[in-house]
Amino acid sequence: MTPVLETTRLILSPYAPDDVDALVLNADHQEVARMMASIPLPFTRDAATARIAQRQCDNSRFTFAMRLRDTGEMIGEIAAGSLHGTGTPQLGYFLRPDVWGQGFASEAIPAALDYGFRVLNWPVIEAETLDDNPASSRVLEKFGFARIGPSACTSLAREDDPGSTLHRLRWDGWCMPSLQTDRLTLRPRAMTDAERHAVLIDDYDVSKMLAVVAHPYPPEESRAWLSGALDDPRDAHFALDRGEGFMGVVSLSWKAPGVRRLGFWLGRPYWRHGYMAEATRAVVDWGFREMDIARIDSKAYLDNPGSLRIHALLGFAETARVRSFSKARGGEVEAATLILTREDWQT
């Protein structure tokens, strides 16, 4: 299926063979080419024909012509993808100079990021900017890209090397919202949670019910986990907060396209108040409603009746009994595997 994205003023669609002349009109400008890595100057019809032939859409890359909704006129390009289908996808875009300053890039970029993260399930998208193009850096930072450091980007259209900077955006940095329940805010984790996270999880009655958490819990692990260094960028981790700081976590972790894995834990001071039932319901509903999820898998130790009860309230069905490793206990424990499908959630 050929993707077509729509914004308020734009249609983003793949190039067609008869876009050659319009592409030359958009790209054959010194102001454009000198800020792009892959556009030579002059930009000829042969170069445009080759670019259109090479830049087709698949699971590893996309290239969209930016077209005005009202007239169909092509005014630029936005693309992202990995070289030869491997490596981290990189975002790039350009606009014809006479339409600069009208907010078209700020309109096209969110649509492209949504497509890459939500449809193609990319975990990370990067972008490179030349250091004498601060406007492009500001646009990327507006959408959550973090500056990583110097890169090796150069321009085919210039002989000088102004230096360049690599920017990076993770799936969770783009897709993670804050959710509100009657009593809780479910928000993205933050480094400021480190102290409370380390104290609450360093409780054997918490850690023994989790698969990969050690006991005692090394304090430095909190900062590593909160930084995202220990997980897939497509994992959705929500911190529970009732206004006084971190309380626990509900996660929908990446397992496969269309499948997530539910995990949760709550600090001991907050047990037996119904907080986790409230939080998990909100996160599961968000997952099925806002993401392309067909099924959520989970697992609960049989000696954890609280977890089994929450799964039952959510509508999970048990599929098997297994032996599952617990790092805190240092051995295998009887557990139930459970699933919840989109269809079951919606009925």
Residues 115 and 3: beta-carbon distance below 8 Å: yes
β-pairing, 164-170 vs 179-180, is unpaired
State the amino acid at position 326 in one-letter form: S
Domain 5-173 has CATH 3.40.630.30: yes
| Pick from 215, 239, 241: nearest CA to 330 | 215
Sign, Cα dihedral of 98, 103, 104, 105? positive
Q: Where are the domains of the chain?
A: 5-173, 177-346
State the amino acid at position 54 in one-letter form: Q
* pLDDT at residue 5 is higher than 60: yes
Token couple for 198? 């380390």
Residues 69 and 9: beta-carbon distance below 8 Å: yes
What integer pLDDT is reported at residue 84 of this predicted model? 63
Taking only the tens place, the pLDDT of each residue in 179-202 is 999 999 999 999 999 999 999 999
Taking only the tens place, the pLDDT of each residue in 120-132 is 999 999 999 999 9
Q: State the Cα–Cα distance between residues 338 and 332, nearest whole angstrom.
A: 18
| Domain at 177-346: CATH architecture | 3-Layer(aba) Sandwich (3.40)
- Answer yes or no: same fold for 5-173 and 177-346: yes
Taking only the tens place, the pLDDT of each residue in 300-317 is 999 999 999 999 999 999
Average pLDDT over residues 264-279: 98
Residues 337 and 322: beta-carbon distance below 8 Å: yes
What integer pLDDT is reported at residue 300 of this predicted model? 98
Strand-pairing partners, residue 95, are 76
| Pick from 202, 311, 200, 199: nearest CA to 266 | 200
Answering whether pTM is above 0.85, one says no
Instruction: Provide Rg for the chain, Cα atoms.
Output: 24
Taking only the tens place, the pLDDT of each residue in 332-343 is 999 999 999 999
- Average pLDDT over all residues of the chain: 94
Q: What is the DSSP string of 86-114?
A: -S--EEEEEE-GGGTTSSHHHHHHHHHHH
* pLDDT at residue 81 is higher than 70: yes
Strands across the sheet with 146-150, in order? Answer: 5-6, 10-13, 61-68, 74-81, 90-95, 124-130, 164-170, 146-150
Q: Where are the alpha helices (DSSP H) in the chain?
A: 20-27, 30-33, 45-54, 104-114, 134-142, 171-175, 194-201, 204-207, 219-227, 275-290, 305-314, 342-346
